[in-house]
Amino acid sequence: MLFTYKCEEGHETERLRTYDNREFATTCKTCFRDAYHVQEFSTKSQSFGFADRRWDMREKKRMGVNHV
């Protein structure tokens, strides 16, 4: 998975790591200081495709089709 890390200078670095290793510090690519995992949260509404999925789930329920 791709995770974002930030150093004390504010530089952001992305690294491919396993989910279990995401909290371990890495080295900033710009200043070579320790960079720590940044927890990211989406402040936007649900993803663009979610509206279609929600409609599809309602239709399946209306028609009596089991869905997961």
Q: What Å distances lie between residue 14 and 19, 52, 56, CA to CA?
A: 14, 31, 35
For residue 59, the model assigns a pLDDT of 81
Provide the residue ranges of all domains of the chain, joining segments of one domain with +: 2-63
For residue 18, the model assigns a pLDDT of 92
Contact present, 23 and 4 (Cβ < 8 Å): no
- pLDDT tens for 4-61 read 999 999 999 999 999 999 999 999 999 999 999 998 766 665 555 566 677 777 888 8
The long-range contacts involving 57-60, CB below 8 angstroms and separated by at least 24 positions, are none
For residue 63, the model assigns a pLDDT of 82
Helix (H) or strand (E) holding 52: helix 50-63
